[in-house]
Amino acid sequence: MLNRKLTACQFLVWAALCSTMVMMGCGAEAPAEKNTADGKSTAKKQKPVADEPESPPARETPKKKYQPVTLGNEPATANANPATASKTRAQPNEKRSQAIVTALQPFQLLLGQWRWITNKKFEGKNKSGEDLAWVWDFKHDPQQPALTSQSETHPYIRQLWFSFQPEENTFQVQVRPVEGPDREMQGTWTEDGEPREEADGKRVQHSYKLQLTQVTPAEGDQWQIVFSQLDNDQYLLTLSRKAASSKQFSQLDVVRQQRLGTSFAVADSDNPGPKCIISGGLGSMSVTYKGKSYPVCCSGCAAAFNDDPERWLAKLAERDKDKKPAE
């Protein structure tokens, strides 16, 4: 009887031990949560079982700031709001800008409307038009003032920007042709082609000859342009091409430009009158700011003035200041 009771006791102890081992063995459960007198739990948060070290949280790759792509120093504002685009442009280098304007003074007489006619015949006829217009462009690229022309009917060129590179002492032309990619050309006066002034007893006639050769793109067919100013009211544009497989340029066409009317925007001794506040050319129209009027030579200069009048008035004040000691 005693042995049976002992055996039963031993059995109960053995069963209790087994139960405890089961509870503590296979990933033992978290200890029971106890509540303190104030009702707060004393249970500790269970730490995860880490067979492998945890990977650090992934870091977000910082987003790169948008860098606008530029062509010929032109700000990428194709999709910008024209009303605010000028406010976001970099301020131009005034000394460099003035050097460019000074270098382009011989071409000031291009300003205005021109009739053009090709020497080459198209379907048996010379092509012609009266929609070629030259104006100053201070807005396309504030760092690079230019004279620009455009035509919707010209057989070769839709738009042309004519400027100067002071660092290289060379003239620069960017051409947007009717077909194909934009072309950049550089060059200088031909032999005996520097600007001349000849008096005919009535007024001074201006002439020059400038040759520019394509530099970009360097592949494919190449262009060469020669500007030949015959007098104040007419000039020739000689266009030559060189095939990619050729070593020499061959003349494609000679386009003659004849001024519409008689006015031209050269301000010199034979043409007295108000000078443009921006380019120094003959003021053929005016702009108004704070109740005062100022002469400008073309619609391009008018647009530049209206875009930032304080800039041009500051330059005018600086010029006037420089003149006073000499007077």
For the domain that residue 194 is a member of, what is the CATH number?
A: 2.40.128.20
Q: How buried is 90 (Cβ within 10 angstroms: 0-12 exposed, 13-18 middle, 19+ buried)? A: exposed
Q: Does residue 124 belong to any structural domain of this protein?
A: yes
Domains identified in the chain, total number: 1
Q: Tell me the C-alpha distance between 39 and 261, whole Å.
A: 101
Q: Tell me the C-alpha distance between 161 and 139, whole Å.
A: 12
Q: Does residue 170 belong to any structural domain of this protein?
A: yes
Q: Per residue in 154-206, pLDDT tens?
A: 999 999 999 999 999 999 999 999 999 999 999 999 999 999 998 877 788 89
Q: Does residue 106 belong to any structural domain of this protein?
A: yes
Q: Is 121's pLDDT higher than 80? A: yes
- When pLDDT is cut at 50, 70 and 90, the band that residue 320 belongs to is confident
- When pLDDT is cut at 50, 70 and 90, the band that residue 101 belongs to is very high
**Tokens standing for 309?**
């009048």
Range 292-312 average pLDDT: 92
Q: Does residue 144 belong to any structural domain of this protein?
A: yes
- What domain range is 111 assigned to? 91-260
Q: Is 97's pLDDT higher than 70? A: yes
* pLDDT top residue among 81 and 146: 146
Q: Tell me the C-alpha distance between 307 and 324, whole Å.
A: 29
Q: Is 88's pLDDT higher than 70? A: no
Query: Model pTM?
Result: 0.67
